[in-house]
Amino acid sequence: MNEPHTPQAGMEKDDVSTIGSVASDIKNAATQKFGEAMTEVRSRTGDAKDSVANEVNDVAQALRRASEELRGGSAQERTLGTLASSLADASDQIRDKDLGQIAQMVSKVAREHPVMFLGGAALLGFAASRYAKASGAGNGTSSEQHDTRPAASFVRGGNPDTQTPGAP
């Protein structure tokens, strides 16, 4: 009868133990590198989370100052004060929770209040674009300095890269 083919059939005991030792070393090195990578990811996400919390807190403080400058008791003053308090609370929650908990909270709000979530996302997008535009103005990357002629040409007469020379 034929013996069943096993990886160890043609190997000696020393070869099998060497292969097992090398495999174990590789597994340990991979586990160590994975742990180091996860530590770095946690560190960087923690820094980003703190930065976002600081930015949200700065916006809350600006809203609070703006509400103090308005007429006492006016609807605008109350609205800005409420927004400032809500943003300050959000800043504290961002700072105190890990990213998984934050993602769960955002997901819950999106499911329970989709209109509010979409409105907040739109506001966040507008704020981010204004922030990006303002921070790009000092270093020569503002949108006014980009050449918009290819885009205008594309809108008016189609994609210039696909048109043959001399064609209308």
- Burial track 67-85 (b if 16+ CB lie within 10 A, e otherwise): beeeeeeeeebeebbebbe
Along the chain (168 residues), what's the average pLDDT of each consecutive run of 10 residues?
52 78 88 88 82 86 85 82 86 84 86 86 80 67 47 46 54
pLDDT at 137: 57
Those residues with Cβ within 8 angstroms of residue 79's Cβ, 6 or more apart along the chain or in another chain:
67
pTM of the entire predicted model: 0.47
Residue among 132, 105, 129, 131 at smallest CA distance from 117: 105
The Cα 125–Cα 23 span in angstroms is 49
